[in-house]
Amino acid sequence: MRTLVPLLALIPLLSACSSHDGDTNQSSSQNNSNVTMTSPHSGNLSDGAALTGGDFARNENALRFIDYMVDKHHYDRSQLEYWISHAKRLDSVISLMDRQAPTPSSRPSGPTGAWLRYRKQFITPDNIKNGVAFWQQHATALDRAYQLYGVPPEIIVGIIGVETRWGRVLGKTRLLDALATLSFDYPRRSEYFSRELETFLLMARDEHVDAHELRGSFAGAMGYCQFMPSSYKSFAVDFNHDGHINLWDPEDAIGSVAHYFQANGWTPGDAIAIRGNGQALGLKYGFENRYPVQALTAAGLKPTKSLGTHTEASVLRLDVGTNYEYWYGLSNFYTITRYNKSVHYSMAVWQLGDAVKHAVEESNTSTRVASNY
């Protein structure tokens, strides 16, 4: 089988991952009209259901999943049984997922510097330097993605930088182990992760790769851009035209991120967020809530520059320690939140990408000046 990532065993722990694990209702691209089961966890076990060993040998969810894949996708049963019998149940994955579960928390009464602490994880001199190197190495692909999808290089670079430090932190968990554990032994999200495992195994079959070899995040996110399998299915593209879609290839990842943003409503050339003066008293903060500009003005917030044709915006509040910054969140900012539903994440993507852009421009200027002597 073709190997996408022969060196992934050497990759360090993932430190930043947006799992893109929102539920999806998308159906498989290989639907069969004779399907008898509607879910990987539904239906009766067939007489042929069996696993010869491994951590999931007696797991009925795993056995039903195999029947489902054979019924719906005509997947080779012996191949599935081999892969799943060699998959490992990872207690560490369940523990990490439990930490992601929402828990009640009391909000502090005043600013504590939460945004500054988050920001400094990503926007550092070394990280910007590495981002410049990535941009310069892949400038042609970034420019082509901009021309094709309308998404500027700094946004693509920002996403890949926050997600994987431009390929330096891709994750070391075997994806089959992670997805099998969450599909078969994590009831809280089993339906969702069973669909992700389904799509992951279809990808392995279509791309002729060994499902045991692929590594990524503990939640199943893959490659430079940390797509979940469902995002791979919907948005990943063969951007280097080699006949394969490989998210561990930076060029395919660049094109796939750009395609994701285009499909989620990115408006080429439009602003992302505008700094505000004052504050919006009585209004809810966050990208989920949008208000007419007149309502924001009446609440005490004014933009520091023109909002262009925008007639409504969300109010973004960033805790900078001594006080709060207030921003008008526009439609392109909302599009960034489709990648990860966090104001901090989306602002870090934008500001990191912008910092790298300015550093690239300074480097290009210095190179042109030096060439004149």
Which sequence positions are flagged as catalytic?
Answer: 163
Sign of CA dihedral 165, 171, 176, 182: negative
- The alpha carbons of the chain give a radius of gyration, in whole angstroms, of 23
Question: Alpha-carbon distance 278 to 324, whole Å?
Answer: 10
Residue 153: both structure tokens together = 């290089």
Question: Alpha-carbon distance 324 to 225, whole Å?
Answer: 31
DSSP at 19:
-
> What DSSP line would sit under 335-351, residue for residue?
HHHTTSS-HHHHHHHHH
Question: Alpha-carbon distance 25 to 138, whole Å?
Answer: 34
Question: Alpha-carbon distance 204 to 337, whole Å?
Answer: 29
Closest CA to 335 of 195, 187, 155: 155
Question: Alpha-carbon distance 181 to 197, whole Å?
Answer: 10
Closest CA to 177 of 203, 195, 205, 200: 200
Question: Alpha-carbon distance 20 to 363, whole Å?
Answer: 34
- In order of 16, 148, 270, 335, 360, the CA distances from 254 in angstroms are 18, 12, 20, 17, 18
Residue with tokens 């399998």: 229
CB 254 within 8 A of CB 266: no
Residue 67: both structure tokens together = 């029947």
3-state helix vs strand vs coil in the chain, percent to 5: 45, 10, 45
AA identity, residue 238: D
